[in-house]
């Protein structure tokens, strides 16, 4: 879980589980790193920011992300607005769905075509 500024420009908080997911040495390292550097697809990052800017919360938003070591993984993201120390912020929960994305790719349209 992370808490980010309302404009999504920086992380205000990150927990140990998120640090481990992103391969960061400590949660504090995630606070220093630029959020956009962990996105594999800049266009998808911009879509997410535009969606949030429209006032909506993320619901199962799937994105391809990058760990500190450069390896790639997939997450699903959910968010809600909050107030932190008198400032608007956004809480974001992430789950690693890399295995699910791989499974869906393996059983996608190509597999259906073979069974037809």
pLDDT > 70: percent of the chain: 92
Domain that holds residue 98: 2-115
Give the chain's mean pLDDT.
91
C-alpha 105/C-alpha 8 separation (Å) is 30
Q: Provide the sign of the torsion angle of the four alpha carbons 81, 16, 74, 71, taken in this order.
A: positive
Domain count, the chain: 1
pLDDT tens track for 48-93? 999 999 999 999 999 999 999 999 999 999 999 999 889 999 999 9
pTM, two decimal places: 0.84
What is the model's pLDDT at position 59?
Answer: 97
CATH number at residue 102: 3.30.450.20
Q: Which residues of 95-112 are buried (b: 16+ CB within 10 A; e: fewer)?
A: ebbeeebeeeeeeeeeee
């Amino acid at each position: 879980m992370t808490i980010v500024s309302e404009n999504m420009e920086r992380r205000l908080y990150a927990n140990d589980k998120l640090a481990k997911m992103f391969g960061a040495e400590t949660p504090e390292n995630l606070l220093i790193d630029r959020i956009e550097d962990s996105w594999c697809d800049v266009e998808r990052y911009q879509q997410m920011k535009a969606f949030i800017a429209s006032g909506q919360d993320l619901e199962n938003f799937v994105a391809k992300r990058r760990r500190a070591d450069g390896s790639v993984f997939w997450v699903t993201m959910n968010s809600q607005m909050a107030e932190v120390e008198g400032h608007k912020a956004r809480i974001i929960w992430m789950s690693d769905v890399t295995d699910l994305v791989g499974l869906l790719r393996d059983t996608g349209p190509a597999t259906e075509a073979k069974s037809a």
